[in-house]
Amino acid sequence: MMNTNDKVNLKFYNSRSKSIEVFEHDANIPINIYTCGPTVYERAHIGNLKTFLWSDFIVRYLQTLGYKTNHIMNITDIDDKIINSLENKNMDSLITFTQHYTKLFLDDIKALGITSYTTENIHKVTDNIGSIVNLIKKLLDKNYAYQLHDGSIYFDVSKVDKYPFPDCQKEAFEKDNIFEGTRKIIKSEGIRTKNDFILWKPVNDNEIYWLTELGKGKPSWNAECSGLALDILKRIDIKIGGIDLKMPHHNCEILQAEAVDEKVLYGKYFIHCGFLNFSGDKMSKSLGNILKLEDVKTNCYLLRTYFLLKSYRNTFEFDGEEINAIKKHFINLHMLYNKLSLGFVKNDSAKNCPIEKTFIFDELLNIISSDFNTKDSLIALFAYVDKLLKVYMDNKIVENVLNELNKVNRLFNIIDKKILEIPKETIEFINKREELRKQKQFELTDKMRMELQEKYFFEDEQNTGYLIINKI
């Protein structure tokens, strides 16, 4: 971990203020980060996964700057969408069903190189019902919530003067009745205010439920995240999620958390990721225009690189041709890494690469500091790689460049180690070919080159070294 937060002036768009802000945080205090995780009723699509990839990168970047982080993600494993997907509406079938899709989610994020979130810091809602109940009890005690005759509990928005996001204020949403959709399956009578949102849901005898101090019922989605987050982290510094969660979900979370303790700022910074479109519209399960990771026939680390070449805030159309266009840069990065790490480097003291061109990492950190600008930083990285692919290098330059690439990869995690794995016998084969070339047995070495090119991306740079990686 580097201590560079005093050198890098990080600023990014804060949805809570609707402006670009300089990030301010005491470096001696860990940054508490909460990411809204998936609802596990079917496999996540790549639009969902893109948000989690960005959360992973933001955590990595902050840690690279020298900050410590406490970062968690939730798994929503109790929700009406889940219950409606069950053949048998009981707790055993719920657990079996959600465990299956939770495992698929964990497999997918691992495949995408998302390593900041594991079973250690991903928390299931069903393991935290007590935390959610305690939050709702506090809201009842403070008269920010009320219970109806059917057992349902609602948050009373008349007790708050304004909503937390500048562009999402009460008047507009009262006019549009944005919360009405959350009541269709509840049909509660006695709701006080149009935008009052549900915290605790009543159930029938044959439904999944928890018997708590609130009565028999189940938590609402809006109460789940805030209850879990406050109990585990106590304080939220950065909240990350898709832009579709901004209103009403994140609005509801903030209202609950800050009603419980007026001194608590629930998320000083809110980071919202843009949509991923496919076939001309937002990728969505309800629209049926989704791509799951298994549907995308490309290397997962190449897909990761593709997403990081886009702004986290922008909505864009998924484009396979764009992925193919960056494939050469992706391959070149791996080619250079293997050239250096395998020692396939030629040097000439009269033609060494100038030392000042071998350093890139600090430059990338500064580019990224402007609203997590990974696009321009990766463009700079690819230009750096292209320049170094076919130059003479002495041992010191090799050491410097390899060190830079390792630092880059600890941040971006875009180098696929499987691509780099060249069998020992292949390396011996290449070295044997070099000896034969020195003996001017060119017909044989040409045949050996063709054999290599059948199995690998292989380029023969006679003067400056060999480039080789596994095909993707």
User: Residue 215 pairs with which residues in a beta bridge?
Assistant: 212
Cβ-based neighbour number of residue 152 at 10 Å: 25
Strands 281-282 and 153-155: unpaired
The domains of the chain are located at 11-296, 321-470
- Distance (Å, rounded) from C-alpha 138 to C-alpha 124? 22
pLDDT of residue 4: 63
Q: pTM for the whole thing? A: 0.94
Question: Each residue's pLDDT tens digit in the chain (472 positions)?
Answer: 446 666 899 999 999 999 999 999 999 999 999 999 999 999 999 999 999 999 999 999 999 999 999 999 999 999 999 999 998 889 999 999 999 999 999 999 999 999 999 999 999 999 999 999 999 999 999 999 999 999 999 999 999 988 899 888 776 666 555 555 444 444 567 899 888 999 999 998 788 999 999 999 999 999 999 999 999 999 999 999 999 999 999 999 999 999 998 888 999 999 999 999 999 999 988 888 999 999 999 999 999 999 999 999 999 999 999 999 999 999 999 999 999 999 999 887 777 666 567 899 999 999 999 999 999 999 999 999 999 998 888 888 999 999 999 999 999 999 999 999 999 999 999 999 999 999 999 999 999 999 999 999 999 987 889 999 999 9
Domain spanning 11-296: CATH superfamily: HUPs (3.40.50.620)
Could you give the CA distance from residue 72 to residue 125 in angstroms, rounded to a whole number?
12
Per-residue pLDDT at 262:
84
Q: What is the pLDDT of residue 256?
A: 96
> Which residues 6+ apart lie within 8 Å of 356 measured at CB?
none
Cα-atom radius of gyration of the chain, to the nearest Å? 27
